[in-house]
A and B are shown apart, each in its own frame.
Chain A
Amino acid sequence: MAYDYTKRTDLKGDVDKQKQAHKVLKEITFKPALPQRGYNDRTLYVNLTDLTIEERPVTQQMKDKFIGGRGFGLWFLWNATQASTRWNDPENELIIAPGPLAGNTQYPGSGKSLVVTLSPMTDIPIDCNVGGYFGPLMKFCGFDALEIQGKAARDVILVIDGPKGRIAIEEAPLENVDSHVAAEVFTHQYADDEKDLPNVSVVSAGRAADHTRIGCLNFSWYDLRRKATRLKQAGRGGTGTVFRDKKLKALVVHGFPVKGDQNNPADLERIARIGVKMHKELHDFDDSQCHMRRQGTAHLVEIMDAYDLLPVHNFQYGNHPDTPRINSQVWDKRFTQGIPDGCWYGCSMACSKGADEHQVMTGPYRGHSNTVDGPEYETAAGVGANCGIFDPDWLLECNFYCDVYGIDTISFGTLCAFCMECWQRGILNAERTGGLEIKFGSGPAQLELMHQMAEGRGFGLIAGQGVARMKKIFAEKGWGEAQLLNDIGMEVKGLEFSQYMSKESLAQQGGYSLTNKGPQHDEAWLIFMDMVNKQIPTFEDKAEALFYFPIFRTWFGLNGLCKLPWNDIEPADNARTPEPAKVPEHVQNYCELFAGITGREIDRHELLRMSRGVYNFQRVFNLRQGKGQRAHDRPPYRAVGPVTVEEYTSRAERYDKQLKEILGVDPAGKSVEEKMALTREHREAQYEKLMDAVYKRRGWTPNGVPTLETLKEVGMDFPELVAVVEQHL
């Protein structure tokens, strides 16, 4: 059929003709099945080099030790690779795994897939938690995970078709690789008819993933009300870059119509009961709490600005007078309201907002009218405030092209802000950028940088390597001093920071830098507890928070759950509980959900034990790959304190007060440089003490290596892990 994609892409194309050009390279039949108590006990392995497609069993040990999702992904990756493996070696794998709880439609936030691979940014495992229908639909075809290894010779797609009992690797030469088009085209190619469209989900990366290390993956779902595909991103660490390096154009799953009991849960009534309780809570309180249903996470923009936490001009400052131009009121109007925007069935938090009818201003889709998926807070803060761009139209434009081209908005925002500061400080100029005037506040320059990345040309090729590599390149070329570049380049382990200011929160400096994958806020977000509430004043308190929260939050990724319904909504009597920050009632819900689906009763201690094993496993994995030690856990100074005179002066009252009250130094008569040096010495020493305290609490050596006792305690004392650790003791 000739299909008119005007809703989503303004492109017209003949999907059938494109499909006819496919060449089947390998095809197998399989018997679709539904999981029992959340597990299929079967995974799918695909090798794109030798065209192997095979089913593999899930062992009881895998379920006990790694649970599912991110745990399965890490375990497969560990076994498939070696210490010397890099992201673009054929043996690197890309794993997509929902977890045992994924796909239930009773509890909000239950449709996540976890993507795991060796990252082109960090050379260690990256894990991303992503919505969209792919993982659950694949699970209900009969697979707990998809493992993709090898590299194809030409662009291919992998098709998992449950109703037809068919898995195939097909060459697909004609389809557009850009995600908004690819998702539409492949969805229509593999759905049987109009009614069947929601049963297809597509994973794709756009053309920029071919030329940058920050390529992301887009996971689609079919939005019945908009009659268009929508996209959610596995954003961090270059998953899309690995995908395109394997010459994957798309993964397509064609599943069965979704029903509420497809996990064959142990106790459907029990999960329905806690689901109803959560839906009521969201219904009753979201409008007076976080407005997730109207504004998504974009509601945070003005809140972060109010607390001096919104990154502005490459994390130099924490607020800006123009923030109201991109705050939640603006997005409330831009987002189409009245449409429940859940990225999986049954998610009544429904925060995956869409801005419809964005008129594209630049690039190959100029003049088209499109739905933009977002912006979420991270995007508004990163490509907006952090780059000094406070124009909602440019922000939507950037969000649109990031998704279309397959670019991580968080890394892009941070690296673009870094380039802009380099311009401000004369490290970059028109000669060095090939004429691109990459200045703070310039939406057109930001978009030009993005188009260059997409087309693999000009300065975009350098910027697309990420902040860590740019720092090195700029220093080697003698464009700037290495010390300054290292201070202002916001990356740890090779991954760019996400969009929160951590200067005034020592705990959050650890929340970012003492992470497994790099500075992403999904392990621990402690700024309020630490900086505002002052609930964790001592090193031991901070270490306890940096023990508990990363471990607890790992559990979402093991099970295929979304973190947002845990603490972006609060039960009525949460305030009366002894530890409201942990939202104990919701933690109890998760224990019940796990028991209700898998039949295995757990309590909050067991929940932590499950995560702690995988968390330590990932640390040892990092160690095997050459990272995972103290030297890799230090933040750039910009994340810790004021690097420049302007930064110090802008908050001089705060810093002077700290000198007096904390260090007992009278700032009067001292130059700003002297005061900055004292502040730096103090703050860096504090961070070293924090590392000591956190490592101790986590059961690691002062060098950040899990001890043998810890491995034993968490059930990860496999000989091969012990062997890695022993090299570092």
Chain B
Amino acid sequence: MITVNGDPLEHEEGLTVQGILEAKNYKFPLLIAFVNGKLVKREDYRTTVVPDGAVVQITHLMGGG
């Protein structure tokens, strides 16, 4: 299990940051991802594997509005 923005999410082997965005249906383009407090660059979303138990914060900037 990991937490994403405070909510629990089932962990799977090989789960990446991109996989989290898809699982959560996070489609907004202006995102900032932190895994255990460490910033993950946008170009690394597909290759960054998230360990079980991780605390993940996906911050959506405002845009729009």
Q: Which residues of A contact B (CB under 8 A)?
A: 288-290, 297, 300, 302-304, 306-307, 377, 500, 521-522, 524-529, 532-535, 567-568, 570, 574-576, 580-581, 583
Do B32 and A580 have beta carbons less than 8 Å apart?
Answer: yes
Kindly state the separation between the CA atoms of A574 and B30 in the bound complex, as whole angstroms: 10
B37 at the interface (CB under 8 A from A): no
What residues of A have a CB within 8 angstroms of the CB of B65 in the complex?
A: 500, 521-522, 524-525, 527
The chain A residue with its CB closest to the CB of B31 is A575
Nearest-neighbor residue (CB-CB) of A511 within chain B: B65
Whole-angstrom distance between the Cβ of B7 and the nearest chain A Cβ: 8
Residue from A290, A532, A576, A581 in contact with B29 in the complex, judged by beta carbons closer than 8 Å? A290
Q: Is the CB of B29 within 8 A of A288?
A: yes
Q: How close is A148's CB to chain B, nearest CB, in angstroms?
A: 31
B39 near A575 with CB under 8 A, answer yes
Q: Could you tell me if B29 and A533 are in contact, using CB atoms closer than 8 angstroms? A: no
The residues of A that contact B59 with a CB separation of less than 8 Å are 533, 535, 580-581
User: Measured between C-beta atoms, what is the minimum distance from B47 to chain A in Å?
Assistant: 17
Pairwise interchain contact A581-B6, C-beta atoms closer than 8 A: no
Quick check: B25 and A575 within 8 Å, CB to CB?
Answer: no
* Given A289-B29, A307-B28, A568:B58 Cβ within 8 A: no
Q: How close is B15's CB to chain A, nearest CB, in angstroms?
A: 19
Q: Are A528 and B29 in contact (CB under 8 A)?
A: no
Q: Mark B39-65, 1 if CB is under 8 A from A, else 0.
A: 101100000000000000111111111
Q: A289-B30, A533-B5 are in contact. Are A581 and B62 (CB under 8 A)?
A: yes
Give the one of B5, B27, B32, B61 with max A CB within 10 A: B61
**7 new A-B pairs (CB below 8 Å) besides A527-B65, A535-B59?**
A297-B64, A525-B64, A528-B60, A533-B58, A534-B5, A580-B59, A581-B62
Rounded to whole angstroms, the CA-CA distance of A575 and B42 in the bound complex is: 10
Closest 7 CB pairs of A and B: A525-B65, A528-B60, A575-B32, A306-B27, A521-B65, A300-B64, A289-B29
Chain A residues within 8 Å of B58, by CB: 532-533
Q: Please give, as numbers and ranges, the residues of chain B lying within 8 Å of A307 by CB-CB distance.
A: 25, 27-28
Q: Contacts A500-B65, A521-B65 given: A570-B5 contact, CB under 8 Å?
A: no
User: Which residue of chain A is the closest to B63 with respect to CB atoms?
Assistant: A568
Residues of B at the A interface (CB closer than 8 Å) are 5-6, 25-30, 32, 39, 41-42, 57-65
B61 touches A583 (CB 8 A): yes
The CB with the most chain A CB atoms within 10 A, among B6, B25, B60, is that of: B60
- Closest-CB distance, B62 to chain A (whole angstroms): 5
A532 touches B5 (CB 8 A): yes
Chain A: CB-nearest residue to B5: A534
Shortest Cβ distance from residue A176 to the other chain B in the assembled complex, whole angstroms: 35
Q: Given that A528-B28, A534-B6, A580-B32 are contacting pairs, would A377 and B64 also be in contact in the complex, using a CB cutoff of 8 Å? A: yes
How far is B61's CA from A350's CA once the two chains are assembled, in angstroms?
Answer: 21
* Bound-complex Cα distance A388 to B30 (A): 28
The prevalent SS among residues of A at the interface is: helix
CB distance from A217 to the nearest CB of B (A): 22
CB distance from B44 to the nearest CB of A (A): 12
Which one of B32, B39, B60, B63 contacts A532 once the chains associate, using CB atoms below 8 Å? B60
The answer to whether residues A580 and B61 also contact, given A534-B6, A575-B39 and a CB cut-off of 8 A, is yes
* Chain A residues with CB below 8 A from B32, complex form: 574-575, 580
Q: How far is the CA of A522 from the CA of B62 in the complex (A)?
A: 12
A300–B60 Cα distance when bound, in Å, is 13
Residues of chain A contacted by B62 (CB below 8 angstroms): 525-526, 528-529, 567, 581
In the complex, the chain B residue whose C-beta lies closest to that of A532 is: B60
Instruction: Indicate if the CB atoms of A570 and B27 lie closer than 8 Å.
Output: no
CA gap between A580 and B33 in the complex, in Å: 12
Contact across chains for A306 and B25 when beta carbons are under 8 A apart: yes
- The CA-CA distance from A580 to B31 in the complex, in Å, is 10
Interfacial chain B residues near A580, Cβ < 8 Å? 32, 59, 61
* 24 CB-based A-B contacts, threshold 8 Å: A303-B27, A303-B64, A304-B64, A306-B25, A307-B25, A307-B28, A522-B65, A524-B65, A526-B62, A528-B60, A528-B61, A532-B60, A533-B57, A533-B58, A534-B6, A567-B61, A568-B63, A568-B64, A574-B61, A575-B32, A575-B39, A580-B32, A580-B59, A581-B62
Q: Are A302 and B27 in contact (CB under 8 A)?
A: yes
Q: How far is the CA of A622 from the CA of B40 in the complex (A)?
A: 46
Given contacts A302-B27, A580-B32, contact A290 B63 (CB under 8 A): yes
Q: Smallest distance from the beta carbon of B2 to chain A beta carbons, Å? A: 15
Q: How far is the CA of A164 from the CA of B30 in the complex (A)?
A: 48
| Most B CB within 10 A of own CB, among A522, A533, A581 | A533
Give every chain B residue within 8 A of A521 (Cβ-Cβ). Answer: 65
Measured in the bound complex, the distance between the Cα atoms of B60 and A524 in whole Å is 15
**Which residues from chain A contact B29 at a C-beta distance below 8 Å?**
288-290
Q: In the complex, what residues of A have CB within 8 A of residue B26's CB?
A: 306, 532
Residues of B within 8 A of A570 (CB): 30, 61
Q: Which residue of A lies closest to B41 (CB)?
A: A575
Most B-side CB within 10 Å, residue of A297, A300, A567, A575: A575
Closest A residue to B40 by beta carbon equals: A575
Q: In the complex where A377-B64, A521-B65, A568-B63 touch, is A290 in contact with B27 (Cβ < 8 A)? A: no
User: Which residues of chain B have C-beta atoms less than 8 A from A533's C-beta?
Assistant: 5, 57-60
Question: Which B residues touch A567, using CB under 8 A?
Answer: 30, 61-63
**Interchain CA distance A108-B30 in the complex, whole Å:** 19
CA distance A181 to B38 in the complex (A): 57
CB-CB nearest in chain A for B30: A570
A575 contacts across to B, CB distance below 8 A:
32, 39, 41
B63 proximity list for chain A (CB < 8 A): 290, 300, 567-568
CA distance A307 to B63 in the complex (A): 14
Q: How far is the CA of A570 from the CA of B62 in the complex (A)?
A: 10
Residues on the A chain within 8 Å of B27, using CB: 302-303, 306-307
Nearest CB of chain A from residue B58's CB, rounded to whole Å:
7
- Smallest beta-carbon distance B5→chain A, Å: 5
What residues of chain A lie closer than 8 Å to B60, measured between beta carbons? 528-529, 532-533
Name the distance in Å between B24's Cβ and chain A's nearest Cβ: 9
Smallest Cβ distance from B37 to chain A, in angstroms? 13
Closest to A508 in B: B65
A528 contact set on B, CB distance < 8 A: 28, 60-62
Partner of B30, one of A290, A525, A527: A290
Q: Which residue on A lies nearest to B58, using beta carbons?
A: A533
Nearest CB of A to B16, in Å = 18
Interface contact B61-A581, CB-CB below 8 Å: yes
Report the bound CA distance from A303 to B31 in whole Å.
13
Q: Which residues of A contact B64 (CB under 8 A)?
A: 297, 300, 303-304, 377, 525, 568
Residue of chain A at shortest CB distance from B60: A528
What CA separation (Å) do A575 and B30 show in the bound complex?
Answer: 10
- How far, in whole Å, are A532 and B30 apart by their CA atoms in the complex? 13
Docked pose: A163 CA to B49 CA in angstroms = 65
In the complex, residue of chain B having the shortest beta-carbon distance to the beta carbon of A291: B29
Residues of chain B with a CB closer than 8 A to A526's CB? 62
**Nearest CB of A to B34, in Å:** 9
Residues of A within 8 A of B39 (CB): 575-576
Nearest-neighbour CB distance to chain B for A237, whole angstroms, equals 18
CB distance from A178 to the nearest CB of B (A): 30
Q: Which residues of B contact A288 (CB under 8 A)?
A: 29, 42
